[in-house]
């Protein structure tokens, strides 16, 4: 069983021709709202796309924003450990999605900042604790250290990008980052291979968008090319990847297989709008893997060169 501890937001999404630059006003089209937040997205991905038993520790306000989030988690089969923050509004995110499927996101954390160390449930039922950085860093660190002390594997998706304290770094078993986050955590500017040399964590997985992903575990390098899809909205693709990766590892699958499944689920999430609504089911992921072509050797070589391996 997996415990996800983290953020839950209501996402307000506007489709725009392009992402505005500073000082620019862009006329958008429809405004829609979807359940989101990195923590809640990853919990849904663990349960729905990963197909494993998943609990989530989250904080919500006493407002109507909370209802759609709770319904989405419940529908995905996620069991909730809820903290109510009466004086705080449920977290919200404001997302622009461009016609080429890129996005720009601003988050108002609200009740997410109300989580505290004492809210963490007993660790005995869990094999993995999955964390992100949309709740206070001090709380993330305390949760990670508590899980580590209880023999639970600690997985951190270090997003949004920020430096990590030494206590947290020492507790992490698996780090999941994109290229920008990798550079921030490594405190190094260079190619992926050189950045990874500056991180002392048992396993680090780097997501590379349409290119796929790479990882280093115990000195061994792993490459997994991406899958080609017609992208509509990349929101939550990274969260889907993280949730499915951890779900697969919790089932005892190898890192190679877990990365392949996570890549497939993340690609499928790009083909639908919204955050949690776009996350595929486990059967969809398995059908996609079964029916799709295997990666070409040229893709693997291109990815190896891109990573500096």
User: What b-and-e string marks burial along 104-137, b requiring 16 or more CB atoms within 10 Å of the CB?
Assistant: ebebebbbbbbbeeebbeebeebbbbbbbbbbee
- Residue 296: pLDDT band by 50, 70, 90 thresholds? confident
Instruction: State how beta strands 128-131 and 153-157 pair.
Output: parallel
CB-based contact 266:239 (threshold 8 Å)? no
- Based on the number of CB atoms within 10 Å of its own CB, is 295 exposed (0-12), middle (13-18) or buried (19 or more)? middle
- Helix, strand and coil in the chain, % to nearest 5: 40, 25, 35
Cβ neighbour number for residue 252 with a 10 Å cutoff: 9
For 64, phi then psi, to 5°, come to -70, -20
The overall longest dimension of the chain from CA atoms, in Å, is 56
Closest CA to 262 of 222, 304, 306, 307: 222
Q: What is the pLDDT of residue 99?
A: 87
- Residue 268: pLDDT band by 50, 70, 90 thresholds? very high
- Over range 162-178, report the average pLDDT: 97
Q: What CATH number does the domain containing 201 carry?
A: 3.40.1190.20
Query: Taking the complete model, does pTM exceed 0.95, yes or no?
Result: no
What ranges in 82-202 are assigned the alpha helix state H? 137-149, 166-171, 179-186, 192-196
> What pLDDT, in 10s, does the model give residues 57-107?
999 999 999 999 999 999 999 999 999 998 889 999 898 989 887 888 898
At residue 275, does pLDDT exceed 80?
A: no
Q: What is the pLDDT of residue 242?
A: 98
Which strand ranges, in their side-by-side order, compose the sheet holding 2-5?
79-84, 54-60, 2-5, 128-131, 153-157, 174-178, 203-207, 212-217, 220-225
What ranges in 37-164 are assigned the alpha helix state H? 38-44, 66-76, 137-149
CB-based contact 36:233 (threshold 8 Å)? no
| Domain hosting residue 264, numbered range | 2-307
Q: What is the pLDDT of residue 105?
A: 86
More confident residue, 37 or 296: 37
Which residues are catalytically annotated?
A: 239
Cβ neighbour number for residue 149 with a 10 Å cutoff: 10
- Over range 143-151, report the average pLDDT: 97
DSSP 45: I
Q: Phi-psi region for residue 188, left (φ > 0), alpha (ψ -120 to 50) or beta?
A: beta
CA angle 214, 251, 215 (to 5 degrees): 10
CA 284, 289, 291, 292 torsion: positive or negative?
Answer: positive
What ranges in the chain are assigned the alpha helix state H? 38-44, 66-76, 137-149, 166-171, 179-186, 192-196, 237-250, 255-269, 282-291, 297-307
- Over range 188-205, report the average pLDDT: 94
Domain count, the chain: 1
Which strand ranges, in their side-by-side order, compose the sheet holding 91-98?
31-36, 9-16, 91-98, 103-108
CA 298, 304, 306, 308 torsion: positive or negative?
Answer: negative
**Mean pLDDT for all residues in the chain:** 93
């Amino acid at each position: 069983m997996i415990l996800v501890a983290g953020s839950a937001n209501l996402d307000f999404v506007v489709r725009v021709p392009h992402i505005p630059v500073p000082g620019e006003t862009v006329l958008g089209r429809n405004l829609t709202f979807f359940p989101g937040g990195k923590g809640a997205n990853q919990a849904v991905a663990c349960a729905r796309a990963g197909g494993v038993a998943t609990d989530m520790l989250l904080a919500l306000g006493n407002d109507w924003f909370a209802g759609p989030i709770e319904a989405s988690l419940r529908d995905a089969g996620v069991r909730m450990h809820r903290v109510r923050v009466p004086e705080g509004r449920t977290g919200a995110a404001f997302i622009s999605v461009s016609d080429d499927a890129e996005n720009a996101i601003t988050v108002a954390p609200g009740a997410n900042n109300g989580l505290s160390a004492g809210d963490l449930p007993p660790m005995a039922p869990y094999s993995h604790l999955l964390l992100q950085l949309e709740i206070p860093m001090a709380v993330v660190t305390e949760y990670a250290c508590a899980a580590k002390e209880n023999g639970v594997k600690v997985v951190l998706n270090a997003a949004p990008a920020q430096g990590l304290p030494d206590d947290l770094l020492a507790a992490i078993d698996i780090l999941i980052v994109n290229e920008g986050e990798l550079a921030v955590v490594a405190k190094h500017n260079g190619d992926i291979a050189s950045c990874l040399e500056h991180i002392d964590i048992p396993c680090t997985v780097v997501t590379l968008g349409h290119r796929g992903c790479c990882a280093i575990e115990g000195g061994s390098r792993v490459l997994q090319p991406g899958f080609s899809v017609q992208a509509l909205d990349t929101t939550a693709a990274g969260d889907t990847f993280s949730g499915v990766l951890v779900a697969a590892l919790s089932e005892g699958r190898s890192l190679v297989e877990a990365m392949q499944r996570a890549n497939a689920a993340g690609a499928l999430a790009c083909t639908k709008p919204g955050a949690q609504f776009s996350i595929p089911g486990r059967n969809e992921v398995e059908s996609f893997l079964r029916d799709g072509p295997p990666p070409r050797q040229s893709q693997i070589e291109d990815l190896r060169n891109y990573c500096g391996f």
